[in-house]
Amino acid sequence: MIIHSSESIKEIKSMKLLTCLFATILLLCTGSTYPNKIPKSRETNHLYISHYENVLGTSMELKISASSPEDAAAAEAAALQEITRMAKILSGYDPNSEFSRWLRTSGQPIKVSSELFEVLNLFDRWRILSHGALDASAEVITKLWKQAASTRKLPTQQELTDAVKEVQQPHWILNSATQTATHLDQAQLMLNSFAKSYIIKRASDAAMLSARLNGIVINIGGDLVVTGQLNETVQISNPKADAENENPVDQLLINNKAVATSGNYRRGELIDGHWYSHIVDPRTGEPADDILSATVVAPSATDAGALATAFNVMNPSESIQLASTIPGAEYLIITKDGERIVSKGWSDLQTPPVKQTENREYGGLDDFELVINLEINLQKEGFVKRPYVAVWVEDENHAAIRTISVWHGSDRYMPELKSWFLKYRGRYNTDRSFTNSITSATRPAGKYTLKWDGKDDEGNLVKPGKYFIKIEASREHGTYQLIRQEIDCDQTPKIINLTGNIEIATASLDYRKKTNNN
């Protein structure tokens, strides 16, 4: 035991006080743009994951790296608040948004928010850069093709000519000195091409400023921004596939960049048995169908979003030329013939996916697959958190065969998927591929398609026979639902419609011959 005199104690207290004062001054003098940049030695960061539906008409995934659930919750709230605020400014679907109210004016300069002014100015810039391939008034042509689908009659050449002529007119005048926008005509306008990427970036910045974070990933409908000290694995969806869990066409490692994907494979119009893309060429009035998918990685979120859309409209040589004018832009373009066109720096972003071994010892199911369609119950308005969902296969003895997909949030609540977690907790704790981000063309909120290729978790084809498909849904300390369906996997195609519940509105199983997605 060490005994100090009263004088020594006073000296020790004085030294401690000086040390604390010096540390405080040092912390203040070494501040950063975001208040969350703290030494790693002082805190351990955890990944907090949330999923939402009804966000800008699609789904959203948040990944927040923070040292405490309180910081993560604050960042999540800030991101949601900023997305809500921006939607009230830029939405063309909300009649009460600032953009919609401005559209109802004509011929007079209107003072607009800095955000609306910036986005309108960006559309002017990209209209010029893309030589008309990007235009907010492309909605004029989109409406024409939607009408054609409803009447099952293709637009006439005169209708297309008139629509293109209307698109090519000036639609507004901006005055940067007064921050006013003058609406000039009645052409239908929609801020779709890159507004989503713009909003994601704004939400990411708001989250980083709201709490002490290590980093954040915000993914809305397949477009995402990675900010902070995170290296995020991003898989690019196969545009020829119709399932969320299909093997990706590529896999990237992303840090402090934005990723955007645009394609014609999820939305469009069916007229007389022919599929017409929802992406139209404002220069011709025709749907753009020569490109299946374009993925762009760029330092700027709006650059990534604008380029991804423009690349679906322009021919490859035009796209390559345009990309060369945007610093740091890398891309993968997939044509309808399956050709891959990549930028010079694309390979620097690539990371090899984990390949499964394949064993065709059993045979019999080589030509079959099981497609699982499900729809999450959604409320009519506002954001809604998606429940945790696990979809997996068991054999007739109830042994686990294959996890098809698992959507989850924080690890803390994973055991609430009690049936799946009981069988798979060991694999979940070691296989972090469950948390990879996915970039893809936007799809409707709440609707998902999954596929089982007849293999087990090791990549081996299973024997023909009876299997159980399980769809488990659970909310954090909330409802719990489990759908269990037996299916005979043989040589006979079959469709089974499943009874929904409070979390899963509808679900179906389609056992069919395999489709070629290569």
Q: Express each pLDDT in 177-227 by its tens digit.
A: 999 999 999 999 999 889 999 999 999 999 999 999 999 999 999 999 999
Boundary of a domain, candidates 128, 153, 183: 183
- Spell out the alpha helix ranges (H) of 315-465: 316-323, 418-430
pLDDT at position 61 is 95
pLDDT at position 234 is 96
pLDDT at position 33 is 39
pTM for this model (two decimals): 0.86
pLDDT tens digits along 13-38 = 444 344 444 334 333 343 333 443 43
Boundary of a domain, candidates 167, 183, 199: 183
Q: How many domains does the chain have?
A: 2
199 token code pair: 């909003």
pLDDT at position 355 is 56
Residue 8 lies in a domain: no
Say which residues have a Cβ less than 8 Å from residue 293's Cβ, sequence separation at least 6: 236, 237, 239, 261, 262, 263, 264, 265, 312, 332, 333, 334, 441
- The pairing of beta strand 223-228 with beta strand 258-263: antiparallel
- Supply the DSSP string of 343-376, one letter for each residue: -TTGGGTB-PPPPPP-B-SS-S-TTEEEEEEEEE
- The pairing of beta strand 268-271 with beta strand 274-277: antiparallel
Identify the CATH number of the domain in which residue 488 sits. 2.60.40.4070
Identify the CATH number of the domain in which residue 103 sits. 1.10.3980.10
Query: How far is CA 187 from each of CA 80, 163, 217, 275, rounded to the nearest angstrom?
Result: 31, 9, 36, 26
pLDDT at position 11 is 39
Residues of the chain with pLDDT under 70: 1-43, 266, 268, 354-365, 410-411, 428-434, 516-518
Cβ distance 196 to 92 under 8 Å? Answer: no
pLDDT at position 136 is 96
Residue 244 lies in a domain: no
87 token code pair: 């939607």
pLDDT at position 1 is 34
Q: What is the mean pLDDT of the chain?
A: 87
Query: Of 127, 119, 108, whose CA–CA distance to 198 is shortest?
Result: 119
Boundary of a domain, candidates 183, 212, 234: 183
What type of residue sits at position 37? K
Range of the domain at 504: 368-513
Residue 499 lies in a domain: yes
Q: How far apart are the first and last CA of the chain?
A: 75
pLDDT tens digits along 142-178 = 999 988 888 888 999 999 999 999 999 999 999 999 9
Residue 55 lies in a domain: no
Residue 444 lies in a domain: yes
CA-to-CA distance for 350 and 340, rounded, in angstroms? Answer: 14
Residue 426 lies in a domain: yes
341 beta partners: 333
pLDDT at position 28 is 39
CA-to-CA distance for 342 and 339, rounded, in angstroms? Answer: 10
Residue 280 lies in a domain: no
Cα 440–Cα 443–Cα 447 angle in degrees, nearest 5: 120
Residue 267 lies in a domain: no
Percent helix, strand and coil across the chain, each rounded to 5? 30, 30, 35
The DSSP symbol for 69 reads H
pLDDT at position 384 is 81
pLDDT at position 6 is 38
